Amino acid sequence: MPTTKELATFFKNKGFIYPSSEIYGGLAGFYDYGHTGTKLKHNFENLWRKYFLSLDDNYFEIDTAQIMHENVFKASGHLENFMDPVAISESGHFERADHLIEKATGKRAEGLSIPEMKEIITKNNIKCPVSGTKIVDVKTLNLMFSVSLGANGSPGYLRPETAQSPYVNFRLQYELQRKKLPLGLALVGKAFRNEISPRNLTLRQREFTQAELQIFFNPAKVDEHPDFSSVKEYPLQVVLVADRESNMTVERTPQMLLNEGLPQFYVYHLVKIQQFYLDTLKISKDKFRLYQLDDKEKAFYNKYHFDIEIELSEHGFTEMGGLHYRTDHDLKGHQEVSKQTMVIHDEESNSKFIPHVLELSFGVDRNVYALLDLNYDNDQERGNAIMHLPPQLAPFFCAVFPLVKNKPDVVKKAKEVQALLKQSFPCYYDESGTVGRRYARADELGVRYCLTVDFDSLDDHSITIRDRETTKQERVPVSSLKERLSQLFIK
């Protein structure tokens, strides 16, 4: 089981992720993606887009500004309520109070009041993990980043979540999309939070990427979905509030969740989220769960809230995103502050209402970290690490090697093969070091197939394909190479 420190070293050495501004000592809570990490991140984002935007013909992606008007966050409640509890030690060190409690007691502390946290810290004699000194106070800190705009310093804010962008765009997009519900507005973009104690690489940052789908729908139809019958017997991996004591993930069908009082429209999207992780990202079922938050833990405006959790090597089950039924809270708030009506006339039902919102929210950086964590394997037998990434996610699907680099005809043939493939597959060329060392480097990057051009290739016009997972090899004619790789890519 790799440690965070081991992963951090590996990520940096292989160009996945490393601290931002590192030549100046780095900046807490900020990370850069290298050449391989950027490819992996983009692959995740594109798979996410392809999957979730295909759930309905009326789901669309928008791209919006990261700095927003001050009134956006008055309406959303962020200026008043977007707080985290901070524990202050005698040494002057700051720590996120609920995380400090969770680490010390092993119990979730999300949603506890400041007095409750103070009592737990005192009762358990919890000390500062950095200085070892006593915790002297617990306060709240607003996590918003303010910015000063223009010569007159007009106030603005970096958005702390991408969700508000679709909300302020809703009315215009509803008109542009011919007044049809449900309407989905997706956004993949940056958000910014002044985290008290960022840590664990990209699991908790001050600048991060979110992928979210906001679905605006008629609240009278929350108990129906036209495709529900196709998923009603699908086994979901869930932890309900009632399962907390046993701490067990329980397999339940969507119909069973309906019997627990959850609406059909909500449960249908729980299924689609799990299918994305298990079928598209190839996450093992035992590493995945949908965790129900109780009334103290969820935001007051969320009627239903399940976290998407993946079990990581050193951190246990960790939140990757969530499914939130936000009712009409957000649109109602923007209507009140902007004085622009969010009430629509739905022609299909001939009724007027403010649409409700179902939010599918994913932390891109956390999901990329999880993919690297779960697929990392320090293989002692091979003597190198292997990244077992699915082909659709790996930075490179294949690599082309000449058997030796001092034979011009072999090198020329290898470069021709790479030129043939690179328009169809993520592919790179490598002639440095022995073939064995090149195989090892490719394994570490998650390359699924290595293609070697040897002396026989000059005569039989075939090359050797080596499988990352099995190390087995097969000989394939160059003329049918693209066809064979296409078959392997979709496996």
Q: What is the CATH number of the domain that holds 477?
A: 3.40.50.800
Q: Categorize the per-residue pLDDT at 491 as very low, low, confident or very high, splitting at 50, 70 and 90.
A: low
- Whether residue 201 sits in one domain with residue 122: no
pTM: 0.92
DSSP at 277:
I
Asked if the structure places residue 97 within a domain, the reply is: yes
Average of per-residue pLDDT across 386-405: 97
How much of the chain is helix, strand and coil, in % rounded to 5? 35, 30, 35
Asked if the structure places residue 95 within a domain, the reply is: yes
Distance separating alpha carbons of residues 431 and 415, to the nearest angstrom: 10
The one-letter amino acid code at 141 reads: L
Point out the domain boundary residue: 340, 375, 410: 375
| Total tally of structural domains belonging to the chain | 3
Average pLDDT, the chain: 95
151-179 burial code (b ≥16 CB/10 A, e <16): eeeeebbbbbbbbbbbbbbbbeebeeeee
**H/E run at residue 359:** strand 356-363
Q: What is the pLDDT of residues 109-141, one digit of tens each?
A: 877 889 999 989 998 999 998 888 988 888 888
- Whether residue 185 sits in one domain with residue 301: yes
Asked if the structure places residue 455 within a domain, the reply is: yes
- Whether residue 309 sits in one domain with residue 193: yes
Which pLDDT does position 363 carry in this prediction?
98
Distance separating alpha carbons of residues 316 and 430, to the nearest angstrom: 37
- Number of Cβ within 10 Å of residue 490's Cβ equals 7
Asked if the structure places residue 217 within a domain, the reply is: yes
Asked if the structure places residue 238 within a domain, the reply is: yes
- Whether residue 266 sits in one domain with residue 186: yes
Distance separating alpha carbons of residues 470 and 464, to the nearest angstrom: 14
- Whether residue 276 sits in one domain with residue 240: yes
Range of weakest confidence among 101-110, 291-300, 329-338, 452-461: 101-110
- Per-residue pLDDT for 385 more than 90? yes
Range of the domain at 163: 51-67+159-375
Which tokens sit at 456? 């026989």
Show the CA angle centred on residue 446, arms to residues 55 and 322, nearest 5°. Answer: 35
Distance separating alpha carbons of residues 60 and 51, to the nearest angstrom: 12
- Whether residue 236 sits in one domain with residue 166: yes
Q: What is the pLDDT of residues 408-455, one digit of tens each?
A: 999 999 999 999 999 999 999 999 999 999 999 999 999 999 999 999
- Whether residue 429 sits in one domain with residue 299: no
Asked if the structure places residue 220 within a domain, the reply is: yes
- Per-residue pLDDT for 180 more than 90? yes
- Whether residue 203 sits in one domain with residue 322: yes
Q: What is the CATH number of the domain that holds 188?
A: 3.30.930.10
- Whether residue 411 sits in one domain with residue 362: no
Average of per-residue pLDDT across 172-176: 97
Asked if the structure places residue 218 within a domain, the reply is: yes
Average of per-residue pLDDT across 249-271: 97
Average of per-residue pLDDT across 352-361: 98
- Whether residue 245 sits in one domain with residue 328: yes
Asked if the structure places residue 19 within a domain, the reply is: no
Q: What is the pLDDT of residues 210-226, one digit of tens each?
A: 999 999 999 999 999 99
- Whether residue 300 sits in one domain with residue 198: yes
- Whether residue 277 sits in one domain with residue 400: no
